[in-house]
Amino acid sequence: MTAAFSSNPNSKRRPPQQTPGAATPNNVISLAQARQRKRGIAPSTPTPAEEETVVQIFPEKLVKPWWLKSLTVAQNLCSISTAVLVTTSLALYGMTVYNESIWSKEYQTLERLRRQDQQFRAANEVLKNQIAKDAENPKASSTVKKPMDTMIFLKPAPLRPEVPSEPAPYLDLGARSGGGDHRSIGY
């Protein structure tokens, strides 16, 4: 058995027209009987098992209580803040991973430069030691020239007295007192 629903009598819809033998508010009718009544066909006599009961439908637009509205607003705010936090944390994670990869590459470069510096210092010390040994050995001095043989020494020039700097002469182009020859300077 199926049920037909009628709307709330307080709603803005037209109330259903009552036909003879129509259902009372406490009776439920079958869908076939509801269709027959809509078409205007006389309903068949209901059997005692088919007592009619009408079920009321809630109004289409319910007014939500304030606590439900506040929960909806809180849910929306939480959704927005969650999206912002997820985006921010993903961006921070990406920057952290990127910075770590850059740092790792630069650290490897630094270590390579430190090893090269250490090797250059060791080679420099070996060369200094070799030069010192060669300088002490008289046989090696014939192949290695002494620094004194290849250097040129110059005598420094005598110091000159410092000349005080004088300010540039001031040229007065204005009128002079007294009678003299007035010349104009043209550019």
User: Structural domain of residue 35, as residue ranges?
Assistant: 1-62
In a domain, 182, yes or no: no
SS3 137: coil
12 plus 46 within the same structural domain: yes
In a domain, 166, yes or no: no
In a domain, 184, yes or no: no
Q: Who has greater pLDDT, 93 or 161? A: 93
14 plus 72 within the same structural domain: no
Q: What is the CA radius of gyration of the chain?
A: 56
- 55 close to 31: Cβ distance less than 8 angstroms: no
- 49 close to 28: Cβ distance less than 8 angstroms: no
Quote the percentage of the chain above a pLDDT of 90. Answer: 34
Q: What is the pLDDT of residues 91-137, one digit of tens each?
A: 999 999 999 999 999 999 999 999 999 999 999 999 999 888 888 87
H/E element holding 55?
strand 55-56
Q: What is the pLDDT of residue 42?
A: 58
How would residue 160 be classed by pLDDT, with cut points 50, 70 and 90? confident
Between the CA of residue 113 and those of 120, 125, 127, 161, 170, what are the distances in Å?
10, 18, 21, 51, 62
Of 35, 31, 33, 27, the closest CA to residue 45 belongs to 33
Average pLDDT value for residue range 13-19: 51
